[in-house]
Structure 1
Amino acid sequence: MHDSSTGSSARPGNTARPGNAGGAARPSRRGVLAATAGLTAALAVQGAGTAHAASRPDDRRLRAVLSRMTLEEKVGQLFVMRVYGHSATDPDQADIDANLSEIGVRTAAELIAKYRVGGIIYFTWAHNTRDPHQIADLSNGIQRASLAQPRGLPVLVATDQEHGIVCRIGAPATLFPGAMAVGAGGSVSDARALGRISGAELRAMGVNQDYSPDADVNVNPANPVIGVRSFGADPDAVARLVAAEVSGYQGSRVAATAKHFPGHGDTAVDSHYGFPVITHSRELWERLDAVPFRAAIRAGIDSIMTAHIQFPALDDSGDPATLSHPIVTGILRGELGYDGVVITDSLGMEGVRTKYGDDRVPVLALKAGVDQLLNPPSLDVAWNAVL
């Protein structure tokens, strides 16, 4: 959802240009390095393609890089953060002021130097996405800034390009109908083509992870936050289209992200502003909510985003799914057999902040089994808490 709120990027000389898919790769499989999703993604730079096994760095290489990293660098790799501005080094003054106010840095380059973040998320409202050439220049500037650091690594560059009502990059990028319109057509080949074309364009601009597709089965007409972002109310139809779109994106070497696990389709509360409760039984969850996520996993999905929802049938602790070890590790990892990257929805959303403070939330998410921490309200608070 981080819709208003997950491949990596270029080495020196392999820059992103509109029309030339530069510097992208996908998160590697989790392997033995559960807490370094950003790092494993960065090391998958070379040879990313449709064959996942061929794009994964081996454990020996991962361990060698980890052995040279400081604890602070390892912590930074866990975070995917917003930053204001159209340029990594020379944003507008208003964006410098916003960065200083919210993050304590002036630019994306300073953000990387200070916190060594593993990822950056682009937003229209953060002035990251004006036009293709500017986006590619921003992506290249981010990669240069990170690779210039001691033990420099590429950066995951992500955005929410769902199409329809959640679309961060506008024309002249190809703009497709939203998921429910695609669902109304019911064409698997159309969904795959959407992912393939959109993925190729994102990759050309240096965006190597897309927080899409939405895998929620929207069975509640009053749902204020999912709605037309879902392919529909039939779990089998949603599953087919989710798998097809995943195939399209990842065939273009952009990491796809299924969201919002364990399923946000039956709620009348928006988790940006409240704490939704899903009252489905475990049996109904198996027949309804779980079906598209199982399909995404079978399709080789690179990352899955958690939901800030309470789901008592899956965990009766009262914790949001993002912070739930029984849901993230017990069900998603254990029962569904998922071994890819798990990313939180935005940690600035009210649904994950209701029960715990902003210092405890990122730590509890990691303990639950999450790999990446998305857009905390205060990066300094969250980073120091994890450290």
Structure 2
Amino acid sequence: MDKKELTSREKRRRRRIRSQIAAYLTLVIAVGALTTGAVIGIKALIQHMNQYNDKVAEALQEAETNVEHETAVIESSTAEDVTQEAEPEDNPLDELVDALLQDMTLEEKVAGMFMVTPESITGVGKAVQAGEGTKNALTENPVGGLLYSSANYQSDNQFLEMMTNTRSYSKYPLFLAVRAECGDSIGFGIESTAKASELTDTDSVREAYGAIATKLAAFGINMDLAPVADIVSEQGNSSLQGRTFGSDGATAAPLVNAAVQSLQEREVSAVLLTFPGEGAVTDGKVSKSLEEMKNSDFLTFQSAIQNGADCIMVSNVSAPEITGDDTPCSLSGTMITDVLRGTLGYNGIVMTDMLGDSAITARYSDGDAAVAAIVAGADILLCPADFSKAYQGVLDAVSAGTITEERIQESLYRIYRVKYKNTLNNVQ
């Protein structure tokens, strides 16, 4: 087979898988319109979503079959020709995200980088249901994720209905997130477990976080801001006492990995807290050097990165011995791009710490903080004090050329690869 024929087959194969992905996205939009435009009960909606998931699986499986068929035809040529013309296989996940981003407006892309509380976009004091207010809020503000607290939970049925309705109101897939660490005050109807500091082997960690993840997944929660990957001594950060897996990075690393795996095996993305490590913070600062951190606090993060952690939260503390100034780590390009992505080799989602915290609001406007986080390399902007101002600040920065649309898309690639991976894994 000559070069022209092989190239033409490859092009046809790529066009076909793109068509299959486009068909999938059309289905997503259609389902969204159906569920948004009608008031339906929980049982009916769950049945509808099950049918939808079957169709998703069929579309993705057909795309995979087409890839295998075209590959088999190519391989029927001579070994020498195939070797000369071989190209890396397309990743169906990349094709899926490509097609999605092509249909998104700039405003939708920017909103997709934010994770906020339901109260911040609906204006209610405490969200305990999802109805027209939530529907209108998500239409106007198509954020990428919502963070719920135990105050939003009243009963299993109530919380399930709220999550189910919320998903149906969003044009694009959401991260529905909570903070649910092991311990005696987890919330969300989850039975108490031992504290992290009391868990000394991977089996006990797996059991504790397996129970948490099973409950969360039943609600439709797909992200947990846990586990705590910090290490802390008895004289360390008092707010972390009982929440960490010990004071030694090498000993804590396999326990952190066990927690991450237990969550992600049940399709709940883990968010490691809190890089670069808050175990020895004094007056909002980490005083260790980069080399000291590499040999202690970084060990848990490095191990979890190697084992596929979906997301890492970067702290609002400063680390002047590493960054050279007192910029919060969550807004520092040195910490996020140079150290976390460069030195540690992390390619997953980077989430800021709460941008509404006083460590940020005392020094930055909502818009400036959001822009600084993106420029530094963050992907998810967590809970600014005023979402509207932060969102508009990013749009203004794109208009001014401070941030490019391509930079926004880099983050959305990382975000949507995680959002879609479980669907794709289920049909491979």
Measured in 2, the distance between the counterparts of 1:314 and 1:306 equals 14
> Match of 1:80?
115
Conservation of the 8 A alpha-carbon contact between 2:194 and 2:208 = no
Aligned partner (choices 244, 249, 254) of residue 263 of structure 2: 249
Once the two structures are TM-superposed, the CA of residue 355 in structure 1 deviates from its matched residue by: 2.7
CA apart distance, 1:132: 1.6
Match status 1:98 vs 2:128? no
Amino acid at match of 1:120: L
| 2:345 maps to which of 333, 337, 349 | 337
Offset of residue 233 of structure 1: 0.7
Match of 1:362 in 2: 370
- Does structure 1 residue 300 correspond to structure 2 residue 326? no
Alignment-derived partner of residue 138 in structure 2: 112
For the 8 Å contact 2:269–2:311, the answer to whether it is kept is yes
Which of 338, 349, 355 is residue 357 of structure 2 equivalent to?
A: 349
Moved >4 Å (runs of 4+):
10-13
2:297 and 2:352 mapped to 1: Cα distance?
Answer: 18
Task: Give the alignment's TM-score, normalised by structure 2.
Answer: 0.68
More helix by proportion, 1 or 2?
A: 2
Q: Give 1 or 2 for the bigger CA radius of gyration.
A: 2
Q: How far apart are the structure 2 equivalents of 1:211 and 1:78?
A: 16
Q: Distance in 2 between matches of 1:377 and 1:258?
A: 22
Q: 2:159: which partner in 1?
A: 135
Shift in alpha-carbon separation, 1:165–1:82, aligned structure 2, 3 A = farther
- Work out whether 1:64 is the aligned partner of 2:83: no
Q: Which residue of structure 2 aligns with residue 3 of structure 1?
A: none
CA distance in 2, matches of 1:329, 1:225: 27
The superposition leaves residues 293-325 of structure 1 with CA deviations (integer Å, 9 ceiling, x where unpaired) of 011111210000010111112201210100010
* Higher normalized contact order (CA 8 Å, seq sep 6+, divided by chain length): 1
TM value normalised by structure 1: 0.75
Counterpart of 1:63 in structure 2: which amino acid? D
| Counterpart position of 1:159 | 178
Shift of 1:57: 5.3
Aligned-partner SS, 2:115: strand
Per-residue deviation at 1:353?
A: 2.6
Question: Matches of residues 1-387 of structure 1 in structure 2 within 5 Å?
Answer: 58-84=93-119, 97-98=124-125, 107-125=133-151, 128-146=152-170, 152-164=171-183, 167-170=186-189, 173-182=190-199, 186-219=200-233, 221-269=235-283, 276-387=284-395
For 2:276 and 2:42, the matched residues in 1 are separated by 35
Look up the SS of the partner of 2:116 in the other structure.
strand
Q: Write the distance in 2 (CA, Å) between the matches of 1:153 and 1:379.
A: 19
Q: What is the DSSP-based 3-state SS (H/G/I as helix, E as strand, rest coil) of the residue aligned with 1:249?
A: helix
Name whichever of 301-310 and 62-71 sits farther off. 62-71
Q: 8 Å contact 1:307–1:320 — kept in the other structure?
A: yes
Q: 1:310 to 1:380 in 2, by over 3 A?
A: same
Shift in Å at residue 221 of structure 1? 2.5
Q: What amino acid is aligned across from residue 153 of structure 2 in structure 1?
A: T
Pairwise CA distance, 1:174: 2.9
Matched position secondary structure for 1:310: coil
Identity rate, percent: 29
SS of the residue 1:229 aligns to: coil
Query: Shift of the alpha carbon at 1:359?
Result: 1.6
Contact 1:16–1:206 (Cα < 8 Å) also in 2: no
For 1:253, the aligned partner's letter is: E
Question: Which AA in structure 2 matches 1:178?
Answer: K
SS in 1 for 2:209: helix
Q: Which deviations, in whole Å up to 9, do the C-alpha atoms of 1:81-133 show, x marking residues without a partner?
A: 10249xx9xxxxxx964379xxxx983323211110110011123xx111221
Counterpart Cα distance in 1 of 2:297 and 2:209:
22
- Give the aligned residue type for 2:166: I
Deviations 1:219-266 (A, max 9, x none): 252523222111111111211110111111111111011110011111
The alpha-carbon distance between structure 1 residues 308 and 166, as it changes in their structure 2 partners (threshold 3 A), is farther
Cα distance in 1 for partners of 2:197, 2:49 equals: 32
**Structure 1 unaligned blocks of 5 or more:** 1-9, 25-45, 48-55, 89-94, 147-151, 270-275
2: CA distance, partners of 1:132 / 1:313:
47
- Corresponding position of 1:38: none
Equivalent pairs counted in the alignment come to 316
